[in-house]
Chains A and B, each alone.
Chain A
Amino acid sequence: MRDGKGAVKRRAGVRLWLSAGWLAALVLVAVFAPWIAPKDPLAQDLFLGRLPPFWETGAEPGYLLGTDSLGRDVLSRIIFGARIALGVALVAGTITCVIGAALGLMAGFLRGWVDLVISRFIDIWMAFPPVLFSILLIAVMGPGLTSIIVAIVVIDWTRFARVVRAEAMAQGAMDYVASARVAGRGRWGVMVREILPNVLPTVVVLLTLEMGIAVIVEAILSFVNLSISTDDPTWGGMISEGRAAVYQAWWVLVFPLVALFLTVLAFSQLGEGLKDRFDPVLR
């Protein structure tokens, strides 16, 4: 099986490096946005409206990916949009993950009334329609990044809790747990020291998927204007604006869409790649 495994690993490796590479580049771009972006993302110049990207006739030097109908530089807006997208992904993903995984781990391993309470809570929670729920939340809290993050956490923690609970239950039935107890380890000790490392790969995969979801959700909410003000450069907002003028200036729609697509894809592929890398049995 040696070489068969090798082939799998090589493929996983390429996937891992490509996705990690894209995300790392994106992080750098987001962090250093003010120095990298060629223009001010908010600067309007109606005389320079709807300039095409650099390879088309009529392009202006300095506006690599063209401008939108208000004359704002598309590339600069994508760069600053990455800040918001990644910020939301990181914060919302991590909080969702920690809350959901902790509850799932406790329910799955401690069983009994803890499981009963958490599981019922999850069931009830999931009966709320998520879209309505998030719109309601934002209506109450007012549009803005914080509302988006809260909405993602509040809706998606059940995803983590359910998967981690099932995984912790399966791991809890393994004899290494029994043997840790024979060795004299208490319940919390077993949970943290024995179960947690074994559910961690699942958690990491879910976390990366969740970050991808967070990016999409932020884009969707921006698209329907429930995010921050339309002036601020968000990918969803740009897509929304680009849609109105797609026949006159396709680039305003397409470039942020590509950035969004690649980022979400990279998150999911990173998860898959990490899972292979983490698993000592596969490795």
Chain B
Amino acid sequence: MADLYTVENLRLSLADMTRKPLLGAAPRLEILKGLSFTIPKGAVVGIVGGSGSGKSTLGRVLVRLLEPSGGRVMFGGVDISHLDEAGLRPLRRRFQMIFQDPMSSLNPRHRVGTIIAEPLRLHGFDDVAGRVARALEHVGLAQGFAGRYPHELSGGQRQRVGIARAIALEPEFILADEIVSGLDVSSQAQVLNLLERLVADLGLTLAFISHDLSVIRRLCQRTIVLSQGVIVEDRVTAELFADPQAAYTRELLDAIPLPDPDQVWA
């Protein structure tokens, strides 16, 4: 299987303005400290870690919302690490993102139909209306939703719109950043099932960022565990859960409260 993403020694640091001395440059804050991994075509990869692990930053580098300060990100054989907006533009259609908070990621002043159609128009697709209709159908929303505003929808419905917007462009890769963490368990399960089905039907490659190992266990074939900007474990999910190697992975697993009164916490 060919690799869709090849990431080599990826580094990212930001200026830490809170500790900037009066004169001179602010110290650099290392967020990602040299990550190397690949994402094969068609894979569903989980990226897990606590807050401050750098998992969301990593995701935003993959879709080039952020520019890395070192290393390389190859997408489909092209080095996208330092491409400018114009260079990225033709590639953008091919890697899409679904955001954590569907309320803030859907422009409150646009209707759902416009939200899905805009990216299509930008990339010069024909039959935009038909594609919007099909995208809504794919995510199980009635056509009438096209005329509604985001605030008129429930959390689960908003997240479906986010998914519809991403898949409408027929991308090869989708990055899902904590897309169910704000949802109730009932809609969480629905959205996950939907995503699982779409990935299979459309032959997508998916990177699924989450803090919740239970959700990763359900969805992903491979899991990358991130802690403080470093990959501590990168393995097939079933093996990782059966026999976690890194101390941090074990700590994460132990901390999950299973819905089971017989599980006793050490």
Contact = CB atoms under 8 A, between A and B. Distances in A.
Interface of A: 174-176, 178-187, 189, 193-194, 197-198, 280-281
Interface of B: 60, 63, 65, 85, 88-89, 92-93, 95-97, 99-101, 104-110, 118-119, 122-123, 149, 151, 162, 165, 169
B85 A186 contact: yes
A183 B85 contact: no
Contacts of A184: 88-89, 92-93, 119, 122-123
B65 A198 contact: no
B118 A180 contact: yes
B108 A281 contact: yes
Contact of B107 (A181, A186, A187, A197): A197
B109 A185 contact: no
Instruction: Specify which of A175, A179, A197 lies most central, judged by the most chain B CB atoms within 10 Å of its CB.
Output: A179
A152 B105 CA distance: 38
A280 B107 CA distance: 11
B96 A182 contact: yes
A189 B104 CA distance: 18
Contact of B109 (A175, A179, A183, A280): A280
Q: Is the interface of A mostly helix, strand, loop or mixed?
A: helix
A198 B107 CA distance: 8
B89 to A, nearest CB: 5
Contact of A175 (B85, B99, B119, B123): B99
B122 A183 contact: yes
Contact of B92 (A183, A187, A194, A280): A183
16 contacts: A175-B99, A175-B101, A175-B104, A176-B107, A179-B162, A180-B118, A183-B169, A184-B88, A184-B93, A185-B118, A186-B89, A187-B85, A197-B107, A197-B110, A198-B107, A280-B109
Given A175-B104, A183-B165, 13 more contacts: A176-B108, A179-B99, A183-B123, A184-B89, A184-B93, A189-B122, A193-B118, A194-B107, A197-B107, A197-B109, A280-B108, A280-B149, A280-B151
A90 to B, nearest CB: 26
Contacts of B85: 186-187
B90 to A, nearest CB: 8
A174 B123 CA distance: 23
B157 to A, nearest CB: 16
Contacts of B151: 280-281
A183 B119 contact: yes
Nearest to B175: A182
Contacts of A187: 85
B118 A198 contact: no
Contacts of A281: 108, 151
A174 B119 contact: no
Contacts of A194: 107
Nearest to A200: B109
A186 B85 CA distance: 7
Contacts of B108: 176, 198, 280-281
A261 B20 CA distance: 51
Contacts of A174: 104-105
Given A174-B104, A280-B108, A179 B149 contact: no
Nearest to B100: A175
